[in-house]
Amino acid sequence: MKLVVGSDHAAYELKEAIKEKLISEGHEVIDVGCDSTESVDYPKYGHAVGRAVASGEAERGIAVCGSGIGISIACNKVPGIRAALCTSVEMAEMCRRHNNANVVCMGARMISQELAFDIIDTWMTTDFEGGKHLRRINEIEDLDF
């Protein structure tokens, strides 16, 4: 799968670990930054992840910041993006099954690297159920402008 990853400085180390994991599993990874632990603003990187997915440059995206909240808001500003902040494996499963989330967001200061990896594994292997959930996603997309 072709994935895009992005983070702010607070999650730089987690992003690098995620990138290494994905590459070792044979995925193609686009890294939109940031490139160090030097302070940066998360909206730039969340928006870059969202744009890469919305444009089709990447199939899905992974965005991380300190809490996961800000970067998920930034991702969701891009029309067509359904970014879900996940703090558990169960949330990762449900955001795929019911919301067809195309970006998963996490907080490096909120969860362990091991849990982040478990969230990603679940998010990547869970299918969208469709049906009534597709109708609801279409309603959400009708709100894009």
Active-site positions read: 65, 98
The residue behind tokens 């990762």 is: 92
The residue assigned the tokens 């919301």 is 99
Question: How would you label 84-117 residue by residue, b for 16+ Cβ within 10 Å and e otherwise?
Answer: bbbbebebbbbbbebbbbbbbbbbbebbeeebbb
